Amino acid sequence: MSLAGDLLKNYEFEIEDLKLVPSDGGRFEVTVNNQLVYSKLQTKRHAGPGEVLGLVKKLVV
């Protein structure tokens, strides 16, 4: 399943809007309520399995 699908499955009642924005330069950033949750540019690595879901959970639960 995709990250978007996982987020919607786990937080369907907390998420009001989900937007995926294509970008260039290896960018992969996740923001929730205008707060940066994960940035591949800052960490210099891909997020591990479930990592982004865990970070989102801390903000919405």
3 state SS for 1-61: CCHHHHHHHHHCCCCCCCCCCCCCCCCCEEEECCEEEEEHHHHCCCCCCCHHHHHHHHHHC
Per-residue pLDDT of the chain (61 residues; tens, 9 = 90+): 688 889 889 988 888 877 777 778 888 888 887 888 999 989 999 999 999 999 999 988 7
Domains of the chain: residue spans and CATH: 3-60 (3.40.30.10)
Which residues on adjacent β-strands are paired with residue 38?
A: 30
User: Torsions phi, psi of 38, nearest 5?
Assistant: -145, 140
pTM above 0.85, yes or no: no
Torsion 18-24-29-33 (CA) sign: negative
